Amino acid sequence: MESRDMSAVLPVPFSRVLVGLACAAALVVTGCSQSATAAGPTLAPDAEIPTEIPAGTTLVVADQSEAQQYSLRASGELDALPFDVEFANFTGGPEVLESFRAGATDVGIVGDVPPIHAAASGQDVPIVAAFQKSKHTYSLATAPGADVRTPDDLRGKRIAYAEGTAQQVVVLRSLGLAGLGPSDVELVRLRLGEFSDALVAGQVDVAPLAEPRLTRYLDDTAAAGGSAIHDLDGISEGLSYLYAPRRTVEDAHTAAALRE
């Protein structure tokens, strides 16, 4: 079946990256603005990362769906950081990458696909840290009345995907669990932020969702019969990456903040 583009239709605390990679997941941002910190000295490739963070150093961090922002504020860790943080919210990895190109953000956390796209497009975005969350991060949310209970039920269904994202891989691996391929379903190209609305509107039957969108969708559609297939093995490695434009890691001020 053919793929359709419907994008125009649907309206852990941050700590020392070198000590604990999982702590990188707590970086967060709100509002998108040009990177604010005045440029510091340029570090040589073999230079030691400074330990002192100059006053006024700011990291503009790309968050997705404000998930990390809520965690950081709720934990109180935001106030403990020895530098300023500004928040920019995006709906997916491709948008984070665009913000790097525009010079609007300094660092972001993404899944395993965006760094591959960055390398393929020739964008110099080094990976600073990697960490692993649950391999069951994603579930296949199903629209009310879709009658999808296992991957075997996906044949012939309309499935939302977002190009260049971890969710795209989740869709393909979910099909593989049932021995299916893209030609066995109708792939509907959407933005990540449109998945839930498309399910509610009946424009797709299935969409891969993670928290907090998953719980929000299930709560909103419980009475109508919205559901999800949980705990599918093999559709995600649970890997996330902290990565940043080359200018961020070469700037002595922002590099020191990243190290902290």
pLDDT class of 3 with cuts at 50, 70, 90: very low
Least confident of 16-25, 148-157, 231-240: 16-25
Determine the pLDDT at residue 17. Answer: 33
What is the tens place of the pLDDT at every residue in 82-118? 999 998 999 888 899 999 999 999 999 898 888 888 8
| Residue range 181-218, pLDDT digits in tens | 999 999 999 999 999 999 999 999 999 999 889 999 99
On the question of pLDDT at 129 being above 80, the answer is yes
Pairing of strands 58-64, 158-161: unpaired
Averaged pLDDT of the chain: 85
For the range 195-198, what are the long-range contacts, defined as Cβ-Cβ under 8 Å and sequence gap of 24 or more? 195/141, 195/160, 195/162, 195/167, 196/141, 196/220, 197/10, 197/11, 198/6, 198/10, 198/160
pLDDT digits (tens, 9 = 90+) for 7-45: 333 333 333 332 233 333 333 333 334 554 557 899 988
pLDDT of 135 strictly over 70: yes
Kindly state the greatest CA–CA separation across the chain: 59
Question: Which segments of the chain belong to CATH 3.40.190.10?
Answer: 139-229
Q: How confident is the model at residue 223 (pLDDT cuts 50, 70, 90)?
A: very high
Specify the long-range contacts of residues 44-51, CB closer than 8 Å, at least 24 apart: 49/255, 49/256, 49/258, 49/259, 50/252, 50/253, 50/255, 50/256, 50/259, 51/256, 51/259
Average pLDDT rounded to a whole number, residues 48-59:
92
Listed in sequence order, the residues at least 6 apart from 163 whose beta carbon sits closer than 8 Å to its beta carbon are 94, 189
State residue 203's pLDDT score: 98
Q: Is the dihedral of CA 55, 56, 60, 66 positive or negative?
A: positive
Q: Give the whole-angstrom CA distance, residue 62 versus residue 31.
A: 9
Output the pLDDT for position 55: 93
- What would be the CATH architecture of the domain defined by 139-229? 3-Layer(aba) Sandwich (3.40)
Ranges 64-73, 102-111, 125-134: which has the least confidence: 64-73
C-alpha 130/C-alpha 20 separation (Å) is 10
Q: CATH for 12-133+239-259?
A: 3.40.190
Which residue reads 């665009």 in tokens?
Answer: 98
Amino acid 35: pLDDT: 55
Nearest-angstrom CA–CA distance, 72 and 14: 8
Residue 148 predicted with pLDDT over 70: yes
Higher pLDDT residue, 33 or 66? 66
